[in-house]
Amino acid sequence: MVTLTDGAGSHPDSRAYPPSRLIALRKQEVLDAAMLLGVAAERLHHFDQPDAHAPSSGPVFEQTVHDLAALLIRYEAAHLFVTWGHDPHCDHETAAAIAAAAVKRCPGVKLWAYPIWGWHLDRDKDLPMHAAKGYRIDIAHEQAIKAQAIAAHRSQMTDLIADDPDGFRFSPDTLAPFMGRYEYFYEIV
């Protein structure tokens, strides 16, 4: 499991959670969620790019591609799942570009994408016009543990960080697409 950015941009005006404390909290939340999902701590990797500023080109981008490809080789990965390249968030777009470039260096690794903010696009205006092969996977048996893993990200799910009124927090509407019994993935060719 790889996180691209450090998460420090979610609550930029919090005095209680300055960037270093927020980064540590966000990493702990990832660890807590991973443990619930059965992912061992040594299988977590943080690339620590600045939140909302992960480079989409240049030397740091290339190094990140190299590092991700090395992980794919190290773990003998057959599949890589990443945020959808049309998701309207700069870091999600960059993550998709990094993943696509890394997979090109690792023949045999299949690339898959999943929407986050794409669920909230206007279907008539904002969706790409090309057809993508998609899959819907029934996760009814894993739905409860998924909800627990999502809840582990308490900095984004609760009022834990209460001193930044403009800080990010999921609302019931933004969270709704992730609470159902299905997961959706696009096959990236």
Q: What is the DSSP string of 87-109?
A: SSSHHHHHHHHHHHHHHHTSTTP
Q: What is the pTM of this model?
A: 0.94
d(CA 113, CA 178): 15
How many domains does the chain contain in total? 1
d(CA 72, CA 178): 26
Domain extent for 112? 2-188
d(CA 10, CA 149): 19
- In the prediction, which pLDDT does 127 show? 74
Q: What is the DSSP string of 16-46?
A: SS-HHHHHHHHHHHHHHHHHHHT--GGG-EE
Mean pLDDT, the chain, as a whole number?
A: 95
d(CA 68, CA 143): 29
pLDDT tens digits for range 25-77: 999 999 999 999 999 999 999 999 999 999 999 999 999 999 999 999 999 99
Q: In which region does residue 134 sit, left (phi positive, over 0), alpha (psi from -120 to 50) or beta (all else)?
A: beta
Is residue 129 over pLDDT 70? no
With tokens 């992980």, the residue in question is: 71
pLDDT tens digits for range 158-174: 999 999 999 999 999 99
pLDDT tens digits for range 138-147: 999 999 999 9
- In the prediction, which pLDDT does 124 show? 77
CATH of the domain at 110: 3.40.50.10320
